Structure 1
């Protein structure tokens, strides 16, 4: 049977490799593999979330709560917004992006993504007939090229995706830049992806009270340590949230995800410690990599670092393979539009794992 034309033309999204894949491919022990490829919290989830999941397991024969009022209130308090300004997604931030598309995109609409950035925006919106238009990040200055955004806007532009900190560059976008873009384009939805905002200690959530065309995406997969539970949320004016609730699947958040999320938001010490350890790991990695000849790491405000490897004599794919053979998973960024074959991305690990990675990296490069 023939698929829809747009599906037939699409390439599959390329995620980072898992520990199970690497263990099988290279005959390694899973427990010996150091994973720096997926921007996760390496210290694990809140112990309170684990306990809540254990206590809820006997209830998984029942449908989950549909309205999620209790969790909405916790997220609103955490984000310092009103309950009416929160929507929760059950497939991480990906479901939030998908619901945005189903709510606001018509076939033929255009959306802008500055490259390089998170490519899942394009992967999801193209399914609904939307057309990507590319702006750019200035890799020389390590900042958003605002002129390229303005030049990309047309009367068909429906959304502009701005990731801050940006994945994979780790770059923050100045709040005044975001404010200017929103104020000058009031008929365009400005989608600000704050998946990594805790690591930057900077948020733009106050802009949703200034503008009714700003939507902020967040996730519980990073600092909050629940990547495997698939929980995301969005912040926007009440009107946008109400429209999206008309489209969002009713039971998309499982019972186990619900109680894990509640317990995590209530575990303030865990959140604070995760942020502190994450920033410590990031700064250690940046400092150590900066000392290695041939590597060009970008300063980052996230839990990952983009590294240029052209001067090492390796391509990103070659270096990634050499490291995988030794049990180190990094992200080969060749699949990122806007980057050539000489960029890798690494994410934080425990300091013990960081030190082992640096040792192996030096060994491979030598």
Structure 2
């Protein structure tokens, strides 16, 4: 059986390595592995979420709620928007991107992604016959090259994906830039990915009141500590949300993910503490790595940071392998379009794990 042409031509998305994979490959204890490759919350989920899951476990023989009304209201309150401006999806933010594509993309449409950025946009939209057009981030200035966005726009452009803070650079996009792009291109959907907005303490959610062509993606996989439960949500004008609800799978959230999400938003102390500890960890890692010869680390507004290692004598693949042998997982960024083979990305961990990582990194580089 021959697959569709686009599927036959596509490469698989390359995720970060898991602790189980590394433990098996290098004969290590899973509990001793330091995972800095997937931008997760290292302090675990909210205790209230865990208790809610335990209470709900006996009901998994029943279908989950389809309208998710209580959770939508909770997200609206958390985000400071109206409930008509919220859509919730399973599979993290990835389902939200997929529903966007199914709702608005026709075969032959183009979408713009500045490189390097999160490549799952491309992976999902190409399945529906859309063509990626690449703008760029200026790595020397560590900022979006705005002119490259305008140069990439054609009469076929349907969406522009702007990740802020950007993955993997950790860079924020100025709100004035977003306003300028949206106002000059009212027929193009400007998709702002705010997966890491809590760590940056900056949001553009107020723009959905002024522009009907701005869509904001968010996830519960980062600060909110539910990467394993796969919950994402989007914010936009009611018209966009209504169109997407017609397409979205009815039961995309399980009963357990619904209960975990609802009770995480209610645990404001947990959220505030996760943000605080995450920023502390980020600052510690940035300060310590900046002291190591041969490494150039980008300042970040997220829970990860990008590191140029070309002056160490290692490629990213080589350094990642040596670190994995010692029980440390980092992200080899060779698979990111727009980066060469000399970049790695690390995410926050507990301060104890951060200190162990710095010791191991110095040992490997020496």
When normalised by structure 1's length, the TM-score is 1.00
CA distance in 2 between counterparts of 1:200 and 1:46 reads 21
CA distance in 2 between counterparts of 1:299 and 1:70 reads 38
Counterpart position of 1:209: 209
Q: After superposition, what is the alpha-carbon deviation per residue over 1:20-47, rounded to whole angstroms, capped at 9, x for unaligned?
A: 0000000000001000000000000000
Q: Secondary structure at the match of 2:223?
A: coil
**1:1-366 residue pairs with structure 2 within 5 A?**
1-366=1-366
CA distance in 2 between counterparts of 1:9 and 1:132 reads 14
CA distance in 2 between counterparts of 1:211 and 1:83 reads 17
CA distance in 2 between counterparts of 1:355 and 1:185 reads 47
Q: Secondary structure at the match of 1:261?
A: helix
Q: After superposition, what is the alpha-carbon deviation per residue over 1:86-127, rounded to whole angstroms, capped at 9, x for unaligned?
A: 000111000000000000000000000000000000000000
CA distance in 2 between counterparts of 1:246 and 1:70 reads 19
Moved over 4 A (4+): none
Q: Secondary structure at the match of 2:172?
A: coil
Q: CA deviation at 1:71?
A: 0.2
Q: CA deviation at 1:78?
A: 0.2
CA distance in 2 between counterparts of 1:95 and 1:81 reads 21
CA distance in 2 between counterparts of 1:236 and 1:203 reads 13
Q: CA deviation at 1:315?
A: 0.3
Say what the alpha-carbon RMSD is for the aligned residues. Answer: 0.2
Q: CA deviation at 1:329?
A: 0.1
Q: Secondary structure at the match of 2:15?
A: coil
Count of aligned pairs: 366
Q: CA deviation at 1:170?
A: 0.1
Q: Secondary structure at the match of 2:162?
A: strand
CA distance in 2 between counterparts of 1:47 and 1:205 reads 28
Q: CA deviation at 1:161?
A: 0.1
